[in-house]
Amino acid sequence: MKIILQPDPILGCVCDPIAASEYSRWRRIGIEMLQLMHDRNGIGLAAPQVGLLSRCIVVSVSGIEFVAINPMIIWRKGRMGAREGCLSAPGKLVRVDRAESIRLVYITTIRGSPHERRARGLLARVIQHEVDHLDGICKVK
């Protein structure tokens, strides 16, 4: 597994949802993605960044670490601007405006069950960045 770099066209593709029959496979892939993300000193990684066009992200911020299958942001509030980096665009930082608080629904890889998470600040920013990747959006180029 390796990180796909800009300007690879896969980073502009919209990802497909993951079927329930594939959750156990994605548990293993999610663990591999977390390891790769940590190896590169990242705090978030999306499946297309490793060449997989499926809706999965991994996040590790301030002691909160999780794998999310089919994540969807269902609520956003406030605005905050900050500089962001991206593992697919090493060395680049770009100012991006994001919602300050969000609510995310997703499938957990632990039980394959629905989960909801509220996030604010850096955690909300990372989640929004990774979900953007699933929709073929990369604001850091």
Using alpha carbons only, give the angle 100, 44, 37 rounded to the nearest 5 degrees.
160
Catalytic residue among 65, 100, 116, 130: 130
Phi, psi of 115 (to 5 degrees): -145, 150
Pairwise CA distance, residues 43 & 32, whole Å: 14
Two tokens at 39? 């190896």
Quick one: 112 exposed, middle or buried, by C-beta within 10 A (0-12, 13-18, 19+)? middle
Residue 116 is a catalytic residue: no
Alpha helices, DSSP H only, in the chain?
A: 23-39, 121-134
Judged by DSSP in three states, 56 sits in strand
- Write out the catalytic residue numbers: 130
